[in-house]
Structure 1
Amino acid sequence: MMSEIRIQVQSADFDFAAEYARFDGRADMGAMVAFVGRVRDFDGSITTMSLEHYPGMTEKSLAKIVDQACDHWPLQAVTLIHRVGDLRAAEQIVLVLTASAHRQAAYEANAFIMDFLKTQAPFWKKEGSGACLEWVDARESDQSALDRWQYLRVV
């Protein structure tokens, strides 16, 4: 099955409603699942996040992740938009939109893409307040989430 794939790495914000509306009227999409990640700040210590990437390499990595999802689930469309640059608390960082004829495929593919994105995509993140930004290491919980997909034999 041929999927409509859209992958963007950009500094500008994205319009979730416009991205969702791109698929209005598509009768082959029985389910659309959207994940929007935002800059979070639980305790007031993070006012800024800076995301860096390696152009070219990042897009290839994202395409590989999306291709793997399309290999495992019958998807009609995938939109993946990831922002880079300086972001403030509560701003949008990432959008993953998956569409399929059936909800389970759309749900699982969306979670798969996010789990691989968090651990495999070449983004480097600094967080903090003002001029005091610190590099952020990968979280153990992100690796644990990735481990649940082992049964797919993904490389």
Structure 2
Amino acid sequence: MDKPDVHHDILLSDQPLSLDQCRDFVAHPSCGGLCFFVGTIRDLNLGETVTHLEFEAYAPMAIKEMRKIAVAAREKFGLHAVALYHRTGDLAIGDVAVIVAVSSVHRKPAFEGCEFVIDELKKHVPIWKKEFRPDGSHWLNARP
């Protein structure tokens, strides 16, 4: 876990992620808006059955980029805090792959900031996703 200041919490882990931990990190008495995105592993993709996924990451760069995204979101949307957690390794259907949690004084910046964080993570963080189907496996894209 990386906590360079008290306003963002970054985690890249092969262990299950905790929504409660993210909520506890971003909650603050001054914040009326808490927003969360929880990405889970689904059993279908483009109409094809999925049995599980595997995530790989280049950890040093992934953590650095995740931190940059959290800082940018705080600055751009006036957020109080950001938690950004992502799993690596083999994940089963229903497992949590990613959690974004943000807090702000009002709801609109919380919604916008949360969406910004997940979109930027998908664009810039070196995490790769391999999809497994009954007929084989393949890498989906260069980002999550």
- Encode CA deviations 1:76-124: one digit per residue, 9 max, x unaligned: 1111110011101111000000000011111100000011111211111
Q: In 2, Cα distance between the equivalents of 1:109 and 1:51?
A: 24
Structure 1, unpaired ranges of 5+: 143-155
Q: CA RMSD in A?
A: 2.2
**Contact 1:50–1:84 at 8 Å: present in 2 too?**
yes
SS of equivalent residue, structure 2 residue 80: strand
Shift of 1:137: 2.2
Shift of 1:5: 0.5
Q: In 2, Cα distance between the equivalents of 1:16 and 1:109?
A: 17
Q: In 1, Cα distance between the equivalents of 2:135 and 2:67?
A: 33
* TM-score of the superposed pair, with normalisation by structure 2: 0.86
Higher strand content, 1 or 2: 2
Identity %: 31
Which residue of the other structure, out of 8, 12, 17, is the alignment partner of 2:15? Answer: 12
**Pair 1:85-2:120 in alignment:** no
**Contact 2:126–2:142 at 8 Å: present in 1 too?**
no
Q: In 1, Cα distance between the equivalents of 2:25 and 2:9?
A: 11
In structure 2, the residue matched to 1:69 is 73
**Contact 1:48–1:128 at 8 Å: present in 2 too?**
yes
The aligned length equals 138
Shift of 1:130: 6.3
Q: In 2, Cα distance between the equivalents of 1:97 and 1:3?
A: 14
Q: In 2, Cα distance between the equivalents of 1:134 and 1:115?
A: 23
**Contact 1:48–1:130 at 8 Å: present in 2 too?**
no
Q: 1:9-88 residue pairs with structure 2 within 5 A?
A: 9-22=12-25, 26-42=28-44, 43=47, 45-88=49-92
Q: In 2, Cα distance between the equivalents of 1:120 and 1:67?
A: 14
SS of equivalent residue, structure 1 residue 75: coil
Q: In 1, Cα distance between the equivalents of 2:142 and 2:132?
A: 16
Structure 2 letter corresponding to 1:67? V
* TM-score of the superposed pair, with normalisation by structure 1: 0.80
Which residue of the other structure, out of 92, 96, 113, is the alignment partner of 2:117? Answer: 113
- Encode CA deviations 1:32-87: one digit per residue, 9 max, x unaligned: 00110001122562111010001211101111111111120111111111001110
**Contact 1:32–1:100 at 8 Å: present in 2 too?**
yes
Shift of 1:131: 8.7
Q: Which runs of 4+ in 1 moved over 6 A?
A: none
